Structure 1
Amino acid sequence: AAMALAREAADGEAGELRLGFVSAALYRHLPRLLRRLRDELPGVRPYLFELSSNEQLAAISEGDLDIGFTHPPFGTGERLDILTFPDEKLIAVLPKDGGPDRVTLGELAARGLVLFPKEQGPATHARILDAFAAAGQEPQIVQEATRALTMLSLVSAGLGAALLPRSTQVLSFEGVRYASIADDRLPAFSLSAIARRRPRRAVIDKVWKVLAVVAAEATPGS
C-alpha cells in the first residue's frame, strides 16, 4: 500500500493540496472543483484557507499555498498560471424591510455602505466609489468587513447596505434581502484561479488540469 501511494504521489494522483479562496468562490466554483477532485483524484487531500487576494498572493510567493481563488489584478512579480472565471454583476444586499427588488445608487448611498477595505481590492474599491460619484452620490462607508458572511450579518443588523457578487443569492440569510441595481456603472466582480508556474509538485499540475475544466464549464457558450 505504501509503494502504491508513493507511485500515485509521483504521478500526481495523490498528495496534499493547499487551496486558498475568497468568499466569492464559495458559492459555485470551489464546490465544483472539490466534487471533481473527489471523483477524479480521490487521493488528493485538500486543505482550505479563506484568505484575501493579497494574502493568497503572498502565500503563493512564499510557497505556503498551492492554488488560490482570487480577485485580480495581481500586483506581484511572481510568474503565475491564471485561469479566468466569468465576471459577476454586483447585487445589493439590504435589510429585509419589504422594500423593492430593484434599487438605485442614490437609495444605496442614503443607507450607507458596508464595504470591503480598500486594501483588500484597491481597483474594485475605487471603481465602486467612482460609480457612485458619476451618479452624483457620495456614500458614507459605515462599516468595513472582509468576509461576505460578516457583511450579511451587519446588513441584517441594519447598519447599511452591501454590494456582493450575484451568486451570493444562494445564501438564505435571516434578516436580509437581495435587490438588483438600476445602474450599469458599477464594476463587475472578477475571479481567477492562480498558481505559481514553476517549481510545483506533480499533484498541482493534475489539479490544475481539473480546474481548467471547471473554468471552461463556467464560461457561457463553452
Structure 2
Amino acid sequence: MDIRQLRYFVAVAEKLSFRRAAEQLHVAQPALSRQIQQLEDRLKVRLFDRDKRSVQLTAAGAAALGHARVVLAAMQELPAIAQRAAAGESGRIRVGFISLVAYEFLPALVREFRHSLPHVDVQMQEFPVMQQFDPLRQDQFDVAILRMLRPDPAIATYVIERAPFVVALPKGHALCRHQLLSVADLAHEDFISLPHTEGASFQGVILDLCRAAGFRPSVMREVGDSQAMMGMVGAGMGVAIVPETVRHLQTAGVEYRHLRDLTERAEIVLAWRQGQRNPLVDAFLQAAMRAFPPPATRHRRTDASAASQHA
C-alpha cells in the first residue's frame, strides 16, 4: 500500500466517479482503476460497488475513508513537523524540579519557554533535592531546576538566583521580637534540616555555618524536603536555616528573619548534561536567560526602571 493509492481512493470516494476523479488527479482512468483494484487486493475487501451507471462506497469503503483522510493529512503535516523538530521548535523536553522552585522559578521559566515554543511537549516531574544531578546523569530528565549543593564536571549549570539564607522560626518564638538576628543567636535552639549525605550536603552547609558561629546544634531533626522542614518549624519542633526562596511555601505558623552575619548564598540553577543532544535544551536555556537574566543585567534593568520612574 502506498500514499498514492490512498489519494486515489479518497478522490474516487469523494467524487463517486472514476472519470471525474481521474480528471481531478490528472491520470488516465484505466490507471486509476488499476490502483484502486490493487488497494482492494491488498486490503482483501471491496471498497466500491460499481456498475456502468453509479459508484457507491461499500461499508468497508466508508469505514476506510475516514482513516485514509487522517493518514493523508498526517503526511501533509510531516514535513512541517520534521522541520520544527530539526529547528528545535517541537518535540519533547523532560524537566525535573525540586519543591523549592515550584512556586516561583518553575512557572516563570516554563511559561517563557512555552510562549516561544508552544508546540513542544513539556513533561515535568518533581525529585528530591538530595539526588542533585543523579537524575540527569541517569537520563531521567533533559534539564533540572534545583538548589545546587556541589558542582559536577559532567553537568553544566546556569544560575537562576543566588538567594540569601534566613532563619525560619515558629510563630511567637522569643527570637521573633527581633527583625535581624545572627547565627549565634540560634545556639540553644533545636534545628531541623534535610538528611546528612556523603560529601557536600544541605545539612553540612548548615553545620559549617553553626561551627563558624561557635557552636554545634545539640538536636538536628532530619526531614525529607523543604515542605516537611517548614511544617516541622510551624509545629514548633525547632528552627531552620533555609534559602529565602522557602518563603514562597507560605507555611502557616512560620516567621522568617534575616541573618546579619551570613554572606553565603544558595544557588538555584538550571542544570543539564554536558554534551547533551536535545536541541530543546538550548532553547530552554535561552528561556531561562530571558526570564532570569544574569545578575548584572538585572541590576541594569532595575536601575533603568528606577531612573525612568524619577524622570
- TM class by shorter chain equals 0.7 to 0.9
Alignment of 1:133-172 (within 5 A): 133-172=211-250
Alignment of 1:45-194 (within 5 A): 45-53=121-129, 55-70=131-146, 71-75=148-152, 77-78=153-154, 80-97=155-172, 99-100=176-177, 101-119=179-197, 122=200, 124-184=202-262, 187-194=264-271
User: Deviation at 1:72?
Assistant: 4.1
Q: Given that residues 113 and 283 in structure 2 are in contact (C-alpha distance below 8 angstroms), is that contact kept between their aligned partners in structure 1?
A: no
Residue 293 of structure 2 aligns with which residue? 216
Amino acid at match of 1:14: S
Query: 1:159 & 1:56 partners in 2: Cα distance?
Result: 27
User: Deviation at 1:82?
Assistant: 2.0
Indicate the percent of aligned positions where both proteins have the same amino acid: 25
Residue 207 of structure 1 aligns with which residue? 284
Instruction: Find the residue that maps to 1:207 and give its secondary structure.
Output: helix
Q: 1:5 to 1:56 in 2, by over 3 A?
A: farther
Query: 1:120 & 1:172 partners in 2: Cα distance?
Result: 31
Q: Which has the larger radius of gyration?
A: 2
Q: 1:44 to 1:96 in 2, by over 3 A?
A: same
Provide TM-score, normalisation by structure 2: 0.62
Query: Is residue 35 of structure 1 aligned with residue 111 of structure 2?
Result: yes
Query: 1:54 & 1:128 partners in 2: Cα distance?
Result: 14
Number of paired residues? 219
Q: Return the structure number with greater relative CO, CA threshold 8 A, min gap 6.
A: 1
Q: Deviations over 1:77-125 (max 9, x none)?
A: 52x3321234211111111116223333244232211011222872553
Query: Is residue 25 of structure 1 aligned with residue 67 of structure 2?
Result: no
Q: Deviations over 1:164-221 (max 9, x none)?
A: 2112223322111111123226x32112211123242222222222223233266542
Gaps of 5+ in 1: none
Query: 1:141 & 1:125 partners in 2: Cα distance?
Result: 12
Residues 156-165 or 132-141, more deviating? 132-141
RMSD: 2.5
